[in-house]
Amino acid sequence: YDLIWRRFTACQMAQAIFNSITIDIEARNYSFRATGQILKFDGFLKVYPIKYDETQLPPLEKEEVLEFLKLSPQQHFTQPPPRYTEATIIKALESEGIGRPSTYAPIISTIQERNYIEKDEKRYFRPTEIGLVVNDLLVEHFPKIVDIKFTANMEEGLDKIAQGQRDWTRLIEEFYIPFSQNLEQKYQEVSKKEFTEKPTKKTCPKCGAPLLIRLGKFGRFYACSKYPKCKYTESLPENILGIKCPKCKEGEIVEKRTKRNKLFYGCNRFPKCDYALWD
Ligand SMILES: [Zn+2]
Ligand SMILES: [Zn+2]
């Protein structure tokens, strides 16, 4: 009861007020900063105390020369920002002015359907190999359409069209004509192979042609360079787990993914041997 009473009373009370002070100290090529805060008025903290730090700074004058007492070298590491979750990526889109409530859900499902990102055990998004390749390609060759400001402006323009304040043909024309010219040019210049194929020293056991490492929707694998004449493919060694197939006693168990990107373990002699294990 005490907790409920305090919480209820606190939410009707005035805000607490802190005085905070920042002092910048110059020392030759370096600058140091000290921050302090002192409680000025406790407000709701009177009935609902929350831990806070109070750091009192000594009273100083502007331009005052300070005495050097001690230098203690210490290394601190800052944490990288955490990866996005569904909730935080929507927040980020919102604050950048990209997407609208009607498009947040399709944006998030599309990048997963295309296998650009996957969720880890804690439901954080992580880019896939194909996601990284697609991103690099877009940033290098289509910098404008992946520019945050451009996209935000476009969304604003579309809103104005919806409200009848702008003519749609003009907006689309301004965007589409330069875009389609750039696209046409990139079709000529950029080859898909550059991003999705790497030569190897291995040869195809079926036809003797060199094998390539190809990037498919679900990661890298060996494929015959004579494709589509020869359809030989093989898992990359990192996917081979070093476990013999218990069914045919000849094949190796490898990590595989279904069309829907579900992980399973199967015999690498498939389709000769159909042994498979599911999580
Ligand atoms: Zn082959
Ligand atoms: Zn087998």
pLDDT in tens, 112-168: 998 899 888 788 898 988 888 889 889 988 998 899 999 999 999 999 999 999 999
Question: pLDDT tens, 222-255?
Answer: 899 998 899 998 877 766 677 888 899 888 888 8
**Average pLDDT of 52-57?**
74
Q: What is the CATH number of domain 86-189?
A: 1.10.460.10
Q: What is the mean pLDDT of residues 208-218?
A: 85
Distance from residue 265's CA to the centre of ligand 2 (Å):
11
**Distance from the CA of 255 to the center of ligand 2, in angstroms?**
13
Q: Ligand 2 centroid to 226 CA: how many Å?
A: 27
**Average pLDDT over every residue of 41-68:** 79
Residue 249: CB partners within 8 Å, gap ≥ 6? none
- 279 pLDDT more than 70: no
Instruction: Note the pLDDT of residue 115.
Output: 87
Ligand number with the minimum distance to the CA of 223: 1
130 CA → ligand 2 middle, Å: 29
Q: Is the ipTM of this complex over 0.90?
A: no
Distance, CA of 180 to CA of 152 (rounded, Å): 20
Residue 89 scores a pLDDT above 90: yes
* Cα–ligand 1 centroid distance for 229 (angstroms): 8
CB within 5 A of ion ligand 2: which residues? 245, 247-248, 251, 267, 269, 273, 275
Q: What is the mean pLDDT of the chain?
A: 85
pLDDT the model gives residue 177:
93
> Quick one: pLDDT band at residue 60, thresholds 50, 70, 90?
confident
Render pLDDT for 179-189 as a digit per residue (tens, 0 to 9).
Answer: 999 999 988 88
pLDDT band at 20 (very low <50, low <70, confident <90, very high): confident
Contact 58, 23 (CB under 8 A): no
Q: What is the mean pLDDT of residues 65-81?
A: 77
- The ranges of the chain annotated as CATH 1.10.460.10 are 86-189
Give the pLDDT score at 238: 62
The closest ligand to the CA of 229 turns out to be 1
In this structure, are residues 203 and 211 in contact, taking their beta carbons and an 8 Å threshold?
yes
- Higher-pLDDT residue of 27 and 206 is 206
Q: Which ligand is nearest the CA of 208, by number?
A: 1
Please give the pLDDT value at position 170.
92
C-alpha 272 to ligand 2 mean position (Å): 8
